[in-house]
Structure 1
């Protein structure tokens, strides 16, 4: 009975085997790999833990028995190519085998993007042609893709041919007449006919790569041929015959050489003699291509005129009519050559002079640079020099805009906006002032002053009425509230809503409104015909005015200090407490 022995010669029994403590890998080696996107499986060469397989060890032992020691080298050194190839050979069963063969590369990788290119032509028949031609020649390019033996045929684009061109046959394997057989690159050569889907393509030329490839494969190419030209295309490329006429004037010369060349003049249209006349700036365009004239108004924003730019459409302007055709207006929009003896020309437009067009007078005072260059080159006898012309004011220009007087409805700012624009915009507000003085109110106590013309009973009734006048610092508005008194005969409540109150005898267009500087103790406030006398104020009023002494007169501040200081002293005496606030005043 034989026992299995390990590497140390001991039986493979428990207690007699030893484990390699330095081993760290126990995974199984990978046998699947990918090459150029394709999965390839190979036999494992290592076992678990990357140890060599027993079969691999035996293979190396067998190969070592067939090692060949070369004898003395009669043909040179060991570094020669002959001995290198001899050493690289190994023997397997008596047959020399190269242990390091070159790597295998598939055909689709070797022949990728390698294309044979042939130039060919075919004749396409013409049915029911008007001329004597029965067919015309069409050129094509044949591509042969060595990667998968597919072919495609493209027709180059010819301008204005009237034929659908481009890709005639998409990339595919082209069949032969024999069933089941396809064209191969071995079947292609110069000077042969290629029959594909009912058309015969005659191959005439090829490129340099195709020629080198065919020669490397042992195929001798025929002599290249010239690509024939189509008779119709050749005839169309010929220049048309020209004829010299005896006339000294060419009607097309002006159209071909003067197209998009325009003379531009800046002028003033004097229309002051009409009822609503004025002097308007205009631009006169003279088109050299057909001697037509166009007049455009120079529209200004907020001029009160409708923005209609064209004053006169583009047309030829008659300068002198033929005898018998002087009547105006005529029955047509534009006079013809049979009726007009002479039209306006560039010589009739001179900068600095007056020109009359269609009964309207225009003073030319300037022109652009192209117009100046044109006159210097073609009409040097005409002097072009810009002039300074004072624009004549119309009847309504220069008049001062008068704002109608304030009618008393709404605020003054809202009424003014309706005079400035057709669609009134809300007046602008001082947002920063509103945010800083929000909820800041100056309150005063007031009594009404009865006019002298009132009766004694009315004076007695008004004497007991008390009001609270509030001044809002955020928007300078004033509101008046009447204190309710039982059996007084007057309903208390809001006497005046918040509004800005102008001072009496101030101008309506620019009124002077009441401010905190005008409210002193004992002063009279005229509110739309009602007079109030201020008799008291809050302590906050005094604090606000002391913090802003630059805006408040000293007399107003003294009256408040005197009034509020006396009240604080009286309150302190009645309560028997401290009068520190009164002393500070």
Structure 2
């Protein structure tokens, strides 16, 4: 059992301990305090109840014991009495040695807290989907925390780089390529490659604290290296604008005296070199208040153009660009004094001469009265020569429209409407003809003509087929119907839908369609690759052609009369009884 002795040397057992009745304080002294909002701990100077600490008591006991205890052995040939006298003499003659108070124990995580080694490094990354750069250099900062040997890698933010930057690797122990081993501060130095998770970081620089720490630990750092610069980002760097001394020209004077004063020129825009271009009249306005120019087309009713006459909005037109800014995208960005050396002025607008404005050619042929007075007052050296222009001008004057050839899609009339207007309308029909000839149909009997190279069986089959050809006088269309015959091998019914049929010898663009004058008994018609011969007609066909002999050939009419009269005589003979 552990024993604790008090001042009287009694064991610390029940019944042997005595309580000090004079003791009034039993609290533990305060060891925590706050300084500027931070909690600070300091070692206690007194124990519980304001008693001296046990360490202080042991120090006094050790000092008193060291003065009386002497070794009883000898060193060499010296005896013990001589050594004791020498020690007593030195003890009484010299003052008692003083021992410093022992320092309190401070753990390593407190000593190394907030002590971080800082290295600057970089790595190169290949760019695949860019035609401007092949690789880029990215700078990083490596932090080594001495408290727990952890590391973190972060990438400083570069403005307008287009790369997601910031913390690349969170604080952790970075593993080496060897399994189970991690990087230590002894493995770090300048000029080496640190491979972490497949990426090689080349360490180039470090801060002053890191350099001092490594030298104190006996590690000699290599020579500092310069951090490389990304060539692509360096090319995009734009130097800060330099200060320019302001001009002595008073812009307020121009605003107060030139407001609402505009020079007006009448010009011709020569756009005949383009595919669908022509010469157009325009009006050029030059505003003296701010030296801006505006160009408008002279819009006329029924000109075929959209009613927005503004050709160029009001802006300052550059005349001469500065060196290095010749390819400045002025079509989408406004030119300023940083890119333009000289702008257009009234001296550049000379009536009677050709001038080029933003790639367009204009011929100034006249101006108004105010413009003439302005030039006489301020620029008398400039001569104004008005030019008379013809009333009708243009590239397409007198040109005849050509209709493109028929492409085969749809009917000829429908395709023609798409060439005449942007939004094609249905083709016009002869309504009077349709109303007069409604329900008027000419019907003929026809036989199918078999090709010469066909077999005899095919010829016999085609000879047994019977067709009815109907011609509609309202729209000149033709339809063919085949009489069905039982067990003939042919379905029968509608053979050709109602449509207009062109003649085989006519052109595609200007076809000649079949008409009643072409339908004579015995004539052969070629309809979409099939040949038919007309063998008979009804009586209505003969009556119609006799009533309209003006456009029916005599031969066609005679064939119909001969065929129908012969059939009539045969019918009468069959009806008369034999004599």
TM-score range, shorter chain: 0.3 to 0.5
TM (norm. structure 1) is 0.47
TM (norm. structure 2) is 0.48
